[in-house]
Amino acid sequence: MSSDPFAGAATDSLRIHAVASLNPGPRLLVMGGVHGDETCGTAGIERVLGELDGGAFQLLRGQLTLVPVANPLARRRLQREGERNLNRLFKPMAEPADYEGKVTNVLCQVIERHDVLLDLHSFQSEGEAFAMIGPRDNDGTLEPFARAREEGLLALHLGTPIVVEGWLDIYAAGLAQRAAGAAVGDGALDFGRGTNEYIRNCGGYGVTLECGQHQDPEAPEVAWRAIRRALALLGMAPLPEGMEAVPPAPPRLLRLASVTDRLDEEDSFVRDWATFDPVQRGEPIGMRHDGTLVSAPEDGFIVFPNALALPGAEWFYFARPSERVLGPVTSAANVPLA
């Protein structure tokens, strides 16, 4: 029997906790459990709720909203999805076709009321915790954005050793690759848009924090520390005694450069890869069912290797070092807000 108190929870409602200071300030939303088998975010959020209820700290300004389990059906089943991936096709729908569509309609209304989103996740393969950020400031059509500096500073302060950029660009490139030159419609692109893409579209900014491997006993601690550091950065609450704003060493910044699909169920990796394993140009990564080697296009890193990917789905991503600068560590209450 699972020890998770949410595993048997009702699936027809969401627990949403809101705390508002009487002093104006930023509106921060923290979500966990977008995927049902990712429990560290829930644990980190519950710890913060316990601290608030017990008087360990109080909100100095602004509004804090906490959603411990964003996908109750997936959590009840203790699997990634209920009926589909909640972190895809994330936009309001007049007639949602599935459970996650109904949840999305509720969460969209919550997200629209906030300036900042911290979405807590974990991943299947071995690897270090990392943060994912969106695009640089741009006025393009894929994901126009004007708050890259604030988003970068939030990622910098969460304390992970690695920060990754370039998700939606590579998702779009993967669609174009599979379409073999045919036009890619907006509907297909929408399936690559999740919670953070939605808050950016609403004028805010957000960071996805991958707290570590699903079963990593340190992952809930990573989630809790990130929440407390985000609150401190935004001037909403002090840091716990003894906690540094960020570790002394700045994070390594990587940019997703390509995605490789698994084409056949006999496609296999040449070894067990972990996220952020380094590879050198020409180094074999996998082998196709016909014996063709899949090799690293250049020096870089493996991201999200999935040995169990279905044919036609993402097998692994490839990342290279990024030249982007996130900015210096700032003091609390020193981040401009909308």
Same-domain status, 67 and 200: yes
Of 196, 225, 250, the one marking the end of a domain is 250
Residue 2 within a domain? no
Residue 334 within a domain? no
Of 235, 250, 265, the one marking the end of a domain is 250
Q: Across the 338 residues of the chain, what is the mean pLDDT of every consecutive 10-residue run?
A: 62 94 98 97 98 97 98 95 94 96 98 98 89 97 96 94 94 83 72 95 97 95 97 97 83 95 97 95 98 97 92 93 83 42
Residue 295 within a domain? yes
Q: What is the pLDDT of residue 186?
A: 66
Same-domain status, 219 and 286: no
Same-domain status, 30 and 93: yes
Q: What angle do CA 296, 300, 303 make, to 5 degrees?
A: 85
Same-domain status, 193 and 283: no
Same-domain status, 206 and 237: yes
The DSSP secondary structure of 189-215, one letter per residue, reads HHTT--HHHHHHHTT-EEEEEEEEETT
Residue 5 within a domain? no
Q: What is the pLDDT of residue 135?
A: 96
CATH number at residue 97: 3.40.630.10
Q: What is the pLDDT of residue 175?
A: 87
Same-domain status, 124 and 194: yes
Residue 3 within a domain? no
Residue 330 within a domain? no
Kindly tell me the burial class for residue 242, based on how many C-beta atoms sit within 10 Å of its own C-beta (0-12, 13-18, 19 or more): exposed
- Number of domains into which the chain is organized: 2
Strands 116-123 and 27-31: parallel
Of 232, 250, 268, the one marking the end of a domain is 250
Same-domain status, 73 and 186: yes
CA 311 to chain centre: 24
Same-domain status, 55 and 166: yes
Same-domain status, 213 and 230: yes
Kindly tell me the burial class for residue 141, based on how many C-beta atoms sit within 10 Å of its own C-beta (0-12, 13-18, 19 or more): exposed
Q: What is the pLDDT of residue 338?
A: 35
CATH number at residue 306: 2.40.50.100
Same-domain status, 42 and 127: yes
> Which two tokens mark 256?
């997703």
- Considering the entire predicted model, what is its pTM? 0.91
CA 289 to chain centre: 32
Same-domain status, 306 and 212: no
Same-domain status, 29 and 154: yes
Residue 329 within a domain? no
Supply the range of the domain harboring residue 296: 255-321
Residue 314 within a domain? yes
Q: What is the pLDDT of residue 181?
A: 63
At residue 230, what is the residue type?
A
What residues are paired with 278 via a beta bridge?
Answer: 301
Q: What is the pLDDT of residue 95?
A: 96
